[in-house]
């Protein structure tokens, strides 16, 4: 079997099971091999029940002492069972898992692993993982992979498919020559993939991960280099001069542009009127006003007789951009069109017709903009918002929408609110000139921050209610969508949106209208919830990090982030950027449930950085200093660029090494190089 073969080639994977794998993005053998664990369970030695010290994570070997009971509480199905081991008894609790009752017959002996706590005076483990004693003993001293499962896809199914794949797979040659691997101190490719799925030790897993992160960075950088080579010194096919409407629009704003905004806009105007096509990145902190600078550029393009397009990473953000921009450009006689995947077939067809005829002058959309059916009449300016959410090739496809016969490429403007140190930005955006916007509009008050333990929640809820009574709104961020996703391996049980939303609605009562939002909802449903929150029909939005990108609700003044230690600092900063967008004082509460907080009463060091500063560039710098080889899971910058494993902060050293190698040996093709380049290129789309 080959890397490109469909997973249906494996025994036991028919149409129905394949559909479950497809939901997780697994279509081919290569996809399966690259479906790496999200964490590993380190099996601790079994303890007697009497030796448990809450809130430690531990394993106990005990027998079920009585028939389990099932209760229904606040929309949850709660399964309770009591287990004993001769030294004491412990209450075991599972949520929304009534099917486990049949496995917990009286007298059944199991090893139960989870976080011990005292609940209503009883020693308890909630959501414990359950093992046969022999199975657990066999795992002592090893790392058990924990995969990022979707509903219906089990650990056993993934492990079985991987076992088959490794036994039947051919053609996993290493593209790196042996002497280069030795010089770079990297593990062999096939070995590194196997180790990631079944490591004997943490040290071995770290070595394997370093090799695979190197590959991701290497092929990403080669794509950037090819993009740069293809458009190097491309002639300006769309010369654009600043029209009077741009100055009129800037003058009509309720605030003055910052110095950083004026400098970035000046860079853009020089590029648009220059001899060569613009290829520029605006790197600005959250709230620095990148969108208005991009809008001025789009107005300039339209008033010079051309079209402009803005591609956003989510439908919520695209719709929001369209609404705001339409209101601002309508007085200038400019039409603005939205194109997203969830629109009806009829609406999409009408939108494409207006884009092709030129009637739609500013076009805002998602990935729908780069589908084959979309044709522009005269696209002179292609903008991607939150560029780290797109692959290199997506930017290239949008750029080619204005190429006509392939020679007249439009100007390219890329915006990113991810504050990356300049040395890393030069590597990641090697084909672009960079403008940095490091100022925040003077009208915005600095956000007040606090890092607190979970015992502070009742105060936080009262504070949220006080803000609602004053006419404001609040976000509550949870790391999980639903309970079945499993808990954290290094701290407290992670909160989930589904249950938290119900709990919070009950706590806040009739004074607060609570809604939930997460990425598994259908696009129209997400749009409806976000619109309800934007329009003030909801007071509190309980959400995953889906709100991280660009959502703008000026009336929201509070953000409460649960299990804050589970997120990367730059991601926390992005989330915090959703508040403080109006003229009222805003507040961000980071709920720290880390082991250091629970066991030692000390706050998580990384979170103290968030307490001390609102400066995204300083946070990014501190993130680099604080991270180490053990920070591999849980705090990854979710969504940053296109990497499965790599993180530009944790892996800055590997990124630089990959950049140097790609520059020096980019065209040196070892055995299997082009094949792997094609596989990684597919992932970049």
The string of pLDDT tens digits covering residues 162-214 is 999 888 876 678 888 889 999 999 999 999 999 999 998 889 999 999 999 99
Query: Which of 225-239, 404-418, 540-554, 663-677 bottoms out in mean pLDDT, i.e. has the lowest?
Result: 663-677
Q: What is the average pLDDT across 348-362?
A: 95
Q: Is residue 665 part of a domain?
A: no
Pair 371, 480 in one domain: no
Residue 408 has pLDDT above 70, yes or no: yes
* C-alpha closest to that of 286 among 192, 149, 386: 386
- What integer is the mean pLDDT of 311-316? 83
Together in a domain, 322 and 378: yes
- Whether pLDDT at 17 is above 80: yes
The pLDDT value recorded for residue 392 is 62
For the segment 258-282, what is each residue's pLDDT rounded down to a tens digit? 999 999 999 999 999 999 889 898 9
> Contact 306/316 with Cβ under 8 angstroms?
no
Determine the Cα–Cα distance for residues 302 and 291; give it in Å rounded to an integer: 16
Most confident of the following: 83-92, 94-103, 285-294, 632-641: 83-92
> Is residue 191 included in any domain, yes or no?
no
Rounded distance, CA 372 to CA 601, Å? Answer: 56
Task: Indicate whether 509 pLDDT > 70.
Answer: yes
Q: Three-state SS for 637?
A: coil
Both 244 and 103 in one domain: the answer is no
* pLDDT in the model for residue 246: 96
Mean pLDDT of 374-378: 92
Neighbours of 191 (CB within 10 A): 15
67 contact partners, CB below 8 Å, separation of at least 6 = 106
3-state secondary structure 47-104: ECHHHCCCCCEEEEEEEECCCCEEEEECCEEEEEEEEECCCCEEEEEEECCHHHHHHC
Please give the pLDDT value at position 385.
85
Domain boundary among 613, 634, 657: 613
- Is the pLDDT confidence value at 433 over 90? no
Question: Per the domain annotation, does 595 fall within a domain?
Answer: yes
281 lies in the same domain as 328 = yes
Count of beta carbons in the 10 Å neighbourhood of residue 354: 17
Specify the pLDDT at position 87: 95
pLDDT above 50 (res 490)? no
Q: Is residue 386 located within the same domain as residue 471?
A: no
Q: Are residues 413 and 473 in the same domain?
A: no
* Token duo for residue 621: 């710098």
Query: Residue 485 gets which letter from DSSP?
Result: G
At residue 671 the predicted structure's pLDDT band, cuts being 50, 70 and 90, is low
| DSSP 8-state class, residue 521 | S
Residue 638 lies in a domain: no
Cβ within 8 Å of residue 183, ≥6 positions away: none
pTM summary value: 0.68
Q: What is the mean pLDDT of residues 114-119?
A: 87
**Which residues fall within 8 angstroms of residue 634, CB to CB, at 6 or more apart?**
39, 488, 490, 565, 566
Query: What stretches of 537-604 show up as alpha helix (H) in DSSP?
Result: 569-576, 595-600
Residue 682's pLDDT band, with cuts at 50, 70 and 90, is low
In a shared domain, residues 294 and 363: yes
- Is 513 within a domain? yes
Does 335 reside within a domain? Answer: yes
Mean pLDDT of 497-518: 93
What is the per-residue pLDDT across 618-660, written as a single tens digit (0 to 9) for each?
787 777 666 544 444 444 443 445 578 887 777 888 989 999 8
> In this model, does residue 534 exceed pLDDT 80?
yes
**Is the same domain home to 251 and 307?**
yes
Does residue 404 or residue 163 have the better pLDDT? 163
What span, in angstroms and rounded, lies between the C-alpha atoms of 682 and 677? 9
Produce one character per residue of 4-39: b if its CB has 16 or more CB atoms within 10 Å, e if not. Answer: ebebeebeebeeebbebbeebebbbbbbbbbbbbeb
Answer yes or no: do 499 and 453 share one domain: yes
pLDDT band with cut points at 50, 70 and 90 for residue 121: confident
The whole-angstrom separation of Cα 464 and Cα 589 is: 11
State how far the Cα of 333 lies from the Cα of 646, in Å rounded to an integer.
46
Residue 387, Ramachandran bin (φ over 0: left; ψ between -120 and 50: alpha; else beta):
alpha
The last residue of one of the domains, among 78, 110, 140, is 140
Residues 432, 103: Cα–Cα separation, whole Å: 58
Residue 35 main-chain phi, psi, to 5 deg: -85, 80
Co-location of 565 and 546 in the same domain:
yes
Inter-residue contact 271 to 278 (CB < 8 Å): yes
Query: Residue 626: its pLDDT value, please?
Result: 67
Q: Does residue 406 register a pLDDT over 70?
A: no
Beta-carbon contacts of 270 under 8 Å, excluding residues fewer than 6 positions away, are: none
Q: Token match 């600092």: residue?
A: 569
Helix locations, 304-411, DSSP H: 315-329, 345-357, 392-400
Q: Are residues 567 and 469 in the same domain?
A: yes
Report the CATH number at residue 285.
3.40.50.300
SS3 content of the chain, % helix, strand, coil (to 5): 45, 20, 40
Domain with residue 85: its CATH number is 2.40.50.140
8 A C-beta contact, residue 3 and residue 28: yes
What per-residue confidence (pLDDT) applies to 527?
79
* Total domains present in the chain: 3
Calculate ∠ Cα 643-648-653, nearest 5°.
120
pLDDT at 629: 41
Residue 369 inside a domain? The answer is: yes
Question: Rounded distance, CA 574 to CA 183, Å?
Answer: 38
Under 8 Å between Cβ of 413 and 268 = yes
Other Cβ atoms closer than 10 A to 525:
13
- Structural domain including 54 reads 44-140
Q: How far is CA 644 from CA 215, 247, 382, 639, 650, in A?
A: 11, 44, 27, 9, 14
Domain boundary pick from 613, 647, 666 = 613
Q: What is the mean pLDDT of the chain?
A: 85
**Are residues 406 and 324 both part of a single domain?**
yes
Look at residues 355, 381, 380 and name the one whose alpha carbon lies nearest to residue 368. 355
pLDDT, residue 503, reads 92
The answer to whether residue 685 scores a pLDDT higher than 50 is no
The yes-or-no verdict on residue 388 having pLDDT over 70 is no
> To which residue do tokens 């920070």 refer?
631
Q: Phi/psi zone of residue 339: left (φ > 0), alpha (ψ -120 to 50 degrees), beta?
A: beta
Closest residue by Cα to residue 143 from 489, 480, 488, 593: 489
d(CA 16, CA 107): 36
Residue 317: predicted pLDDT:
82
Place of tokens 């180490």: 628
Highest mean pLDDT among 76-80, 220-224, 284-288, 423-427: 76-80
661 domain residue, yes or no: no
What pLDDT band is residue 335 in, cutting at 50, 70 and 90? very high
């Amino acid at each position: 079997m080959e890397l490109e073969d469909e997973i249906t080639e494996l025994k036991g994977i028919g149409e129905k099971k394949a559909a479950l794998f497809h939901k997780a993005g697994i279509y081919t053998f290569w996809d399966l091999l690259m479906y790496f664990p999200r964490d590993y369970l380190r099996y601790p030695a079994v303890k007697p029940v009497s030796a448990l010290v809450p809130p430690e994570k531990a394993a106990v070997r005990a027998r079920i002492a009585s028939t389990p009971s099932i209760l229904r509480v606040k929309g949850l199905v709660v399964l309770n069972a009591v287990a004993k081991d001769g030294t004491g008894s412990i209450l075991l609790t599972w949520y929304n898992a009534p099917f486990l009752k049949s496995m917990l017959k009286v007298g059944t002996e199991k090893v139960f692993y989870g976080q011990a706590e005292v609940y209503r005076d009883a020693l308890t483990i909630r959501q414990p993982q359950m093992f046969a004693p022999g199975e657990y003993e066999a795992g002592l001293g090893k790392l058990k992979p924990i995969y990022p499962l979707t509903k219906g896809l089990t650990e056993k199914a993934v492990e079985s498919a991987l076992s088959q794949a490794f036994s039947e797979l051919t053609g996993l040659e290493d593209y790196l020559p042996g002497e280069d691997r030795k010089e770079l101190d990297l593990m062999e490719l096939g070995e590194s993939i196997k180790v990631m799925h079944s490591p004997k030790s943490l040290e071995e897993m770290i070595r394997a991960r370093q090799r695979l992160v190197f590959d991701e960075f290497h092929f990403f950088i080669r794509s950037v280099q090819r993009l740069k080579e293809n458009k190097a010194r491309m002639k300006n096919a769309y010369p654009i001069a600043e029209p009077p409407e741009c100055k009129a629009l800037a003058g009509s704003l309720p605030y003055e542009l910052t110095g950083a905004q004026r400098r970035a806009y000046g860079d853009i105007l020089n590029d648009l009127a220059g001899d060569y096509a613009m290829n520029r990145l605006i790197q600005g902190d959250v709230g620095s006003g990148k969108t208005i600078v991009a809008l001025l550029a789009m107005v300039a393009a339209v008033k010079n007789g051309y079209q402009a397009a803005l591609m956003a990473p989510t439908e919520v953000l695209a719709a929001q951009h369209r609404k705001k921009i339409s209101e601002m450009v309508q007085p200038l006689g400019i039409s603005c069109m939205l194109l997203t995947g969830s629109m009806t077939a009829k609406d999409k067809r009408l939108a494409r017709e207006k884009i092709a005829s030129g009637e739609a002058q500013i076009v805002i959309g998602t990935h729908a903009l780069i589908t084959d059916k979309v044709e522009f009449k005269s696209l002179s300016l292609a903008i991607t918002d939150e560029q780290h959410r797109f692959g290199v090739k997506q930017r290239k496809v949008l750029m080619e929408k204005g190429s006509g016969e392939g020679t007249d490429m439009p100007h390219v403007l890329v915006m990113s609110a991810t504050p990356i140190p300049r040395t890393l930005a030069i590597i990641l955006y090697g084909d672009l000139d960079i403008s940095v916007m490091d100022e925040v509009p003077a009208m915005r008050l600095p956000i007040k921050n606090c890092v607190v333990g979970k015992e502070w929640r009742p105060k936080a809820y009262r504070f949220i209610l006080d803000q609602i009574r004053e006419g404001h709104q609040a976000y509550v961020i949870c790391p999980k969508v639903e309970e079945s996703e499993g808990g954290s391996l290094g701290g407290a049980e992670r909160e989930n949106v589904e249950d938290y939303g119900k709990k919070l609605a009950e706590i806040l009562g009739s004074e607060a209208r609570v809604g939930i939002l997460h990425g598994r909802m259908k696009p129209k449903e997400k749009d409806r919830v976000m619109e309800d929150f934007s329009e003030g029909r909801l007071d509190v939005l309980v959400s995953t990090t889906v709100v991280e990108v660009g959502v703008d609700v000026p009336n929201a003044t509070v953000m409460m982030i649960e299990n804050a230690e589970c997120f990367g600092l730059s991601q926390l900063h992005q989330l915090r950027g959703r508040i403080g967008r109006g003229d009222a004082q805003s507040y961000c509460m980071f709920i720290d449930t880390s082991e250091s907080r629970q066991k030692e009463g000390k706050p998580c060091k990384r979170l103290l950085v968030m307490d001390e500063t609102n400066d995204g560039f300083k946070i990014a710098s501190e993130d680099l200093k604080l991270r180490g080889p053990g920070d591999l899971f849980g705090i990854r910058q979710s969504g940053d660029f296109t990497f499965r494993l790599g993180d530009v902060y944790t892996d800055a050293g590997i990124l630089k090494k990959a950049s140097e190698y790609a520059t020096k040996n980019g065209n040196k093709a070892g055995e299997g190089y082009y094949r792997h380049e094609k596989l990684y290129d597919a992932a970049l789309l």
